[in-house]
Structure formats: structure tokens, C-alpha cells
Amino acid sequence: MKIPFWKVESIGNNFVLVHLDDVSLLGENGRESELLTVLAVAACEKRYGIGSDGLLAVSQDGDGTLILRMFNPDGTEDFCGNGIRCAFDHALRQGWLAPGEMRMTHFGIPVSGSAQHLADHAKGSLSAIRHAMHRTPYLIHTQLPPASYRPEDIPIAREREIFDSAIARVDGEVYTGSVLSTGTAHTILPVRTLPHDEEFFRVSPQIERDPLFPERTSVMWVHELDDDKIQLRVWERGVGETSGCGSGSTAAAVDYLRRNGRGGSVMVWNPGGFVTVTAASWEAPPRISGVAAELFTGEFPFPAKKA
């Protein structure tokens, strides 16, 4: 069987997107999660599949709310900030939603959003330039629930929160930062300069799988460029290095605001682009603004797995 797909991206974080209704045609009812896990591994594979940082599967329920499921290349299901943006963008292109108030349920978490046409945005802005380069019609704003440092929400194997304190010892060196959840676990490591390859690829996977994190963690290396501007190097759990992370950008911005004891807007530069995160305080619901692009579409041959 062949399943229709769309290749999409936001700040360089790229995904294979499919419709949940098409996935249901691949097998019997009740096997959707199993099929999505198998499909994610096959489609994300770079040599023999399509190649991507993850699989997005979207549908719409009876009241117009989007349903989004995201799977990492290793088949694990996760929460994904850039996936949310890509799914809203896809729904707008498909005519499922209008740019006004939009709603979604993702990984059991309610998400609201809105969009504005980039043609109406300030001319000459970076978003307008990206619109011209990638035919991206919308600037998309998403609202997430407040971030949490509570150990049980992340989760971590400690009784107290980790904020601006020692996290792990790797090869004799203690790494300091914060651990929080913006829908999924993120470890924030503030550094004076972003790490070179040797340190990044040696340390990041060890922190991801440290016993402190029973469900693993993504690792955001964070360098402050200027007031309210930070730069990331991204290691995502279940993926490895990526060009961008929306939930990680949100976590880094929230942690930055907490360290500075205030609210505000933070521009977060990922290797593949930037998002702007705005919150009245670090404890308030964050608003994330950015763009997504649709790169190409096709059909992926995927044999249905026999029961």
C-alpha cells in the first residue's frame, strides 16, 4: 500500500506528515499506535525511507479540534513544539482551519493557536523574507500551558526541582543548568560559547540517558547573544542533533526569563531559524511565534503489518 505524505519543516526541524485517517486504512482498528511506530521508523530512515526528524500524524475531531501525534525516528511517541506549528500550517493549507482561533490536542495537552498572513506582517522583516524564500504564507502563534520544573512532571529521579544547579557529571566534569518540561523533558545548559563537536557529541547522549531521567531528556546548550536573544545547539532525545526544537526553544526562553526574574519576549536562534517566545513571567503560559514550510509531497510505499 502507498500512504500520502507531506514533507514539512519549521526552523530546520523536518518531518514526514501523514493523515491519521490514511494510517487507519493500513490495518485493523486498535492497531494505530503500532502502525505509527513502524511507519515512523521506516519513513524517517534517511537511506531507504524519506528521511526526517520525526513523523507527524494529524486528524480533526468532530468540533474542528486538531489531533496530533508525533513519533521520533526510533519509534517513541513524544511532544513536539515545531510539530505543532507544522500541523497548524498544514491544516490551514488544507482548509481545515481558518487563521483565527485554532485548537489542538497533542500528547494529551491542549494547545491553542492563531495565524496571520505574512503579507500583512512588517515588510522587510526576517519573517517576510522567509515567506518570499519558502512560500510560507503564515506566521503562526501557539500558546502552551505553563512550563514546569516539578520533578514528577518532567520526570526526574529527584525530589526537588533542578534550577541553576548541578545536573550530571560526565567524564569527570560537572554540568550545571536547569531541568523542566514544556510538554516533554528538557535539560538547559547555559554556556559562554556553544560546544564544539567533540564535546557536544560526547556529552549530550550521556546526559540524555543519565539515570536521573527515567524517560530520557533532550539537551539544549544555550548561549546568550544579547539581551533577550539566545542561541541554541540542540540534542533531541530519540533523534540526536537537529536544526531546531520548538519545545526546547520554549524551555530555554522560560529558563532565561526565570534567571532574569521577569517576563518578556525572547528571540531564540536555532541552527535552522528562530522563534520568538513571549510570557508575562516564567510561570505564565508561553506564546511561541514562528513559521513553517511545506517542502514537497508524495506517496510512501508501506506494507500493512499482518495481525
Domain layout of the chain by residue ranges: 151-290
How large is the average pLDDT for residues 211-233? 98
Percent of the chain with pLDDT over 90: 85
Please, which pLDDT band fits residue 32 given cuts at 50, 70 and 90? Answer: confident
Q: What is the value of pTM for the model shown?
A: 0.92
Please, which pLDDT band fits residue 124 given cuts at 50, 70 and 90? Answer: low
Helices 246-260 and 81-94: angle between axes, nearest 10 degrees: 130
Q: Are 138 and 99 in contact (CB under 8 A)?
A: yes
Cell of 224: 546568550
- B/e letters for 171-196, b = 16+ CB within 10 Å, e = fewer, are eeeebebbbbbbbbbbbbbbbeeebe
In a 10 Å sphere around its CB, with 0-12 CB exposed, 13-18 middle and 19+ buried, how is residue 71 labelled? buried
In a 10 Å sphere around its CB, with 0-12 CB exposed, 13-18 middle and 19+ buried, how is residue 23 labelled? buried
Cell of 58: 494529524
How large is the average pLDDT for residues 189-218? 98
Q: Over the chain, what is the mean pLDDT?
A: 92
| 3-state class (DSSP) for residue 72 | coil
263 CB neighbour count, 10 Å cutoff: 16
- How far is the C-alpha of 159 from the C-alpha of 102, rounded, in Å? 37
How large is the average pLDDT for residues 95-119? 92
Q: Does pLDDT of 306 surpass 60?
A: no
Q: Does pLDDT of 4 surpass 70?
A: yes
Length in residues, the chain: 307
- Beta-bridged to residue 224, according to DSSP, are 230
How large is the average pLDDT for residues 196-222? 98
What topology does CATH give the domain 151-290? Answer: Diaminopimelate Epimerase; Chain A, domain 1 (3.10.310)
Summarised one tens digit per residue, pLDDT across range 230-286 is 999 999 999 999 999 999 999 999 999 999 999 999 999 999 999 999 999 999 999
